[in-house]
Amino acid sequence: MILTKKNISEINSDKLLEESLTKNQLSEILIVVPTNRKLRDLKKSILNKFVDEPISKLNIETITTLSTNLLKEHKPFLPLSEAASTILIKESCEELELKYFSVYNRKIPFGTLDKIKNVISEYKKHAITPAILRNEAEKITGSEKVKALDIAKIYTQFQEKCLSKRVFDIGDIYSELLKIDYTEFYKNFNKLFGKCKKVALDKFDEFTNSEIEIISKVSDVVENNLFINFDYYITNKSLFSHLDNTYEILAKNGFVKVKDISPLEKNDFLNNTKKNLFEDKIIKANNKFQDKIYKIKVSNRIEEIEFIARDIKTKIIEEKIVPYRICIAFNVIGNYSNIVRDIFAKYGIPYNLTDRIQLKTSPPVIAAISLLELVENDFYFNDLINVFTNGFFKFKNIDLNNIILIANKLKITSGLENWFASIEDALKLLEYNTEDLNISKAKLKQSYIKAKDDIETLHKLLKPLKGRKNKAEFLTAFKNVLLEVEFPQKLVEDSGGNEEEFIKAVTLFFDTLEEVLVLITQDDETAEYPLHFYIEQIRVFSNWARFNVKEKSDEGILITSINEIRGLKFDYLYLGGMCDGDIPTKYSPEIFFSGSFKKKERIHQAEERYLFYQALSVWQKQLYLVLPQKNGSADLVESTFVKDLNKLFLFTEIEYKKNNIILCKEELLIAAGNQNINGVNEGAVKQYLSKLSTAKEVSKIRINEPFSENVYNGFLSGEDIKVYLEEYVEQQISISQLESFAKCPFEYFTKRILKIESLGEPNEEAAPIELGNVLHSILHDFYQKISDENIELKNTDSKKNAVLKEILFDIANEKIDKLNLKSPLAFFEKEKILGINGIKENSILYQFLLNETNKQSEFEPILFEVPFGQFENINSVTVKISNFKLRGKIDRIDLNYNDKSFNIIDYKLKGKKPTSKELHEGLSLQLPVYMIAGREILQDTYKYDYNGNLMIIYSLDYKKDNFGEKVFKVSSKRKLGKDEIMLQNKIIMENAEKKISEYYEAIKNGRFNLSKLDDRETKVCNYCDYQSLCRMKEIF
């Protein structure tokens, strides 16, 4: 219907605009539309009409933009964004003594703040003041009254802030605009629209009282040449009853209905819908549109979007339909946004999804905030990774992989000073390191220094963000840091086609940040705040700030909410989510509206019906109503709205079943896997399918025959590989490396030959700085000292024990003090070595001394930290087994001079003994190899063949129950004789030599298969760093 104050009987609403377009008199008409989308659509259509002619002025506004521009002509102010509004609401709540919200202790959650903001915004738009709200509170009781009074308090405080800072939201703008007298209003309107002679409000429904007053004023200014296209049918109360009040208020303001004689009013579908939809009367269903309206049942929401995508792609390919003539709309678009993005990208369909993106989810915004969080959290490891891996920063000459490796090696999780202290400590401890034979001390030192330098570089870059700063200083420092890491360039260069989205997100981020900081610091711009304060503001507004990416209207399908398509026209409309709960949505009253201001369920139902009706006004050629049957495991029920529409019109009903037509690459892969493709002749596709077929056959071999000898199962071949591996086995190898190969040849190949490093996260609970090597050195020097001074450990008394204790702790203190270790984690390790809380009796060293002095044995410690193989600057005995040159260090050899035998002692901070099974399977080689090496070392040193006796694990675990010697034996007998021991050792050593020989041949011949251990999961897989590269889980 057309409403106007002008005294006329009829009008052609189509010609109202058409006349101005025909005469190119666009400056003489002001068009007001309900949504920004309609505004853009109308502008585009007008500009396309006059593509070859100049347009003097185009006056198209929404009520919001019209009101804002009129008020700006009268007084200066800043429009208040939603995000900034939330900041002021948050401040207001924190400053007040509230009762209902006291449970939050002035820290009201984001979600609750958002609801309070929305409620106050609605009150403002409807001219409901805090005073009116307090009067309403007197009519209610209990907690509802307390809640209403709290809201009124917050509203008052918020309003005072807005007025004092001259920032207005739309409700304030309406209120201030209506305070202007007619003369001033007339003058301001003519400044903006001087030539305007008529005003058309197109496709409107509900207005607030304030909006009607503004419209009435505008009508007076243009001598009542104002016409409202009000979508209302007075006799259909089931559909339009929620607009009755708006219609009555318009009438009271002098607006009356005039007859519309435009052709649109003769549209059978729309007229029937407008008059009869939802009315409780018996009407014969119209079959005129049966071939144009489709009801499609699908299994679930994912299949729903799949159907829509496939149907649209078929239309585009076969019927040459242009995408921008197609629209997909949902009442609850949040249920579909992620599904749409995934499936439409899969099918390669261009689309414009208008679901508003939260600033806090935008990748470049997350990246920018991560820089601040890295400083705030004092170089926490995870924040460091976020900064380096987000893809929006360029750091020159910083080696992230090296930083991660060093962080893992040194167990560094956070603390800038801890980073520096831990690396410095590691450099000092380097002289004691003998563990990793693949990394020389020089190389390891270089890695430490590089990591330290890189952390220092990053620290210098971010240092300007630290400390207290005023608004201008913070913004300058933040922007300079982002410029330094080339953030703007990376935003465009590495956006993956999302340039517009990313630029809009970052622009909104900084616009909102500056808006918020201006509001907060308005009273004192020189006020200084710590970094945490700025981050807190950013976190708050990022939770609410949202943005849309401007769609490329001529390039893609519009995917939006039903509310956004009013007044638009499309050839093909897909209405998704046609189930109860989505449309109509379940009635859920806003808990912070009070008394009579609460929306009633009847009004909610009427509004939902009206949305459905508006959506039905959009399509021109075909309408699709899509009904998902399930949401997860929950059943969905067909929308009652669809049933009501079906009473008026017959549908073509379809139960969706996916056909075999291939419309995307994924479907091609699936079809190839199922061998459902025949007769493909296109070159590129045929070649691609050939590769797929080969890959499939390879996969079958790897899964069904995982240990068969072929290249796909880790059995390498080729002349170059053969030459490389023959040279490789000539290098020195450590026992731990052989044990690694024994457990899983593939892991060994990945780590040792390909040299792929695992970049994990440091574990704070793991053993911190490794002082085990220092402890070994202390014990070595202790034995050397007492040997030089001829002090025996046997038959000691208290006086002698005191001397030994003093010697041992003097050596330990001198070594540890010289290192001057500074990292916090090193402190706890030192405590365990020297004594918890300074008490020597509560230390590893004291327990060790007690064990050694109380031990009754014919064996004497004689050699300590004995190397074999080649070390840097050390010449030692060469030990070869099956052509492998072995390298290692024996912690201690004890000698029995009487029977010419020796024990091997291996210190462990954890005293776990190998099992007989592990020795038999060649998984534990250290003790038998040490026994072989010990014999050769003694032969080289004393020129005598000593017999191996016992293999002993000496636990230096601080826990007293685990401390001390643990003798390894394979026999179940409690005590073995000399001959039995020698036989046992012979068997163990021969087995070790046999296994090492097998490993030599396997590595030399390129056999790097998966682990064949029966208990591989517990022995290898559960702790493997290379699970993502391995196919073990596919096979077993």
328 pLDDT above the threshold of 50: yes
For the chain, the residue count is 1036
- What pLDDT score does 38 carry? 85
Calculate mean pLDDT across residues 232-245. 90
C-alpha span between 336 and 579 (Å, rounded)? 14
- What pLDDT score does 765 carry? 46
- Give the pLDDT band of residue 51 (cuts 50, 70, 90): low
Calculate mean pLDDT across residues 8-30. 78
Residue 833 Cα distances to 616, 802, 815, 864, 907, angstroms:
80, 18, 12, 19, 14
287 pLDDT above the threshold of 80: yes
Mean pLDDT over all residues of the chain? 87
- What pLDDT score does 998 carry? 94
- What pLDDT score does 598 carry? 57
- What pLDDT score does 769 carry? 44
Name residue, tokens 């907060």.
Answer: 520
The 10 Å Cβ neighbour count of residue 618 is 18
Which tokens belong to 630? 């399930």
Determine the longest span between alpha carbons in the chain, in angstroms: 130
Q: Is 944 buried (19+), middle (13-18) or exposed (0-12) by CB count in 10 A?
A: exposed
Nearest to 63 by CA among 278, 218, 260, 167: 218
- Give the pLDDT band of residue 676 (cuts 50, 70, 90): low
- What pLDDT score does 21 carry? 66
Which strands, in side-by-side order, build the sheet including 198-204? 10-11, 256-260, 2-4, 226-230, 198-204, 29-33, 60-62
Residues sharing a CB contact under 8 Å with residue 285, sequence separation 6 or more, in sequence order: 646, 647, 648, 649, 650
Calculate mean pLDDT across residues 415-432. 86
679 pLDDT above the threshold of 80: no
How far is residue 471 CA from its own chain's centroid?
A: 29
437 pLDDT above the threshold of 60: no
- What pLDDT score does 246 carry? 93
**pLDDT per residue over 870-919, tens digit each?**
876 667 898 999 889 998 999 999 999 999 999 999 998 875 778 888 88
The residue among 259 and 823 whose pLDDT is bigger is 259
The dihedral formed by the CA atoms of 602, 607, 609 and 610, expressed in degrees to the nearest 10: 140
293-356+554-655 and 360-547 agree in CATH topology: no
Q: What is the DSSP letter of 565?
A: G
Calculate mean pLDDT across residues 385-392. 91
% of the chain exceeding 70 in pLDDT: 92
H or E stretch including 329?
Answer: strand 326-330
% of the chain exceeding 90 in pLDDT: 47
Nearest to 773 by CA among 302, 392, 429: 429
770 pLDDT above the threshold of 50: yes
**pLDDT per residue over 53-71, tens digit each?**
767 678 999 999 999 999 9
At position 105, the amino acid (one-letter code) is N
Residues sharing a CB contact under 8 Å with residue 262, sequence separation 6 or more, in sequence order: 12, 13, 14, 15
482 pLDDT above the threshold of 60: yes
Domain definitions of the chain by residue range: 2-76+172-266, 83-157, 293-356+554-655, 360-547, 665-704, 707-763+858-1036, 767-855
637 pLDDT above the threshold of 70: yes
Calculate mean pLDDT across residues 912-930. 88
- What pLDDT score does 767 carry? 46
264 pLDDT above the threshold of 70: no
C-alpha span between 719 and 100 (Å, rounded)? 80
**pLDDT per residue over 944-1001, tens digit each?**
999 999 999 998 887 767 788 888 877 767 677 888 888 888 999 999 999 999 999 9
Calculate mean pLDDT across residues 917-938. 92
C-alpha distance across the termini of the chain, in Å: 71
SS3 687: helix
694 pLDDT above the threshold of 90: no
- Give the pLDDT band of residue 768 (cuts 50, 70, 90): very low
C-alpha span between 560 and 563 (Å, rounded)? 8
Name residue, tokens 């921008």.
Answer: 324
- What pLDDT score does 295 carry? 97
Q: What is the DSSP letter of 914?
A: P
Calculate mean pLDDT across residues 100-121. 85
Nearest to 745 by CA among 1032, 346, 948, 494: 1032
H or E stretch including 352?
Answer: strand 351-353
The CATH number of 707-763+858-1036 is 3.90.320
**Can you name the CATH fold of 293-356+554-655?**
Rossmann fold (3.40.50)
Q: What is the DSSP letter of 54?
A: -
**C-alpha torsion sign, points 11, 12, 18, 23:** negative
C-alpha span between 232 and 240 (Å, rounded)? 6
118 pLDDT above the threshold of 50: yes
Name residue, tokens 């006329």.
Answer: 8
415 pLDDT above the threshold of 80: yes
At position 46, the amino acid (one-letter code) is I
- What pLDDT score does 1025 carry? 81
HEC profile of 354-395? CCCEEHHHCHHHHHHHHHHHHHHCCCCHHHHHHHHHCCCCCC
Phi-psi bin for 598: left (phi > 0), alpha (psi -120 to 50), beta? beta
- Give the pLDDT band of residue 301 (cuts 50, 70, 90): very high
Which tokens belong to 920? 């038999």
The residue among 398 and 912 whose pLDDT is bigger is 398
- Give the pLDDT band of residue 73 (cuts 50, 70, 90): very high
Given CATH 1.10.10, say whether it is the number of domain 2-76+172-266: no
SS3 203: strand
- Give the pLDDT band of residue 553 (cuts 50, 70, 90): low
Provide the β-strand partners of residue 551.
Answer: none
Evaluate whether 393 touches 491 at the Cβ level (below 8 Å). no
**pLDDT per residue over 786-837, tens digit each?**
988 888 888 788 888 999 999 999 999 988 888 777 766 677 778 888 888 8
Which tokens belong to 718? 């080729």
**Can you name the CATH fold of 360-547?**
PCRA; domain 4 (1.10.486)
Residues sharing a CB contact under 8 Å with residue 944, sequence separation 6 or more, in sequence order: 900, 938
The residue among 1029 and 52 whose pLDDT is bigger is 1029
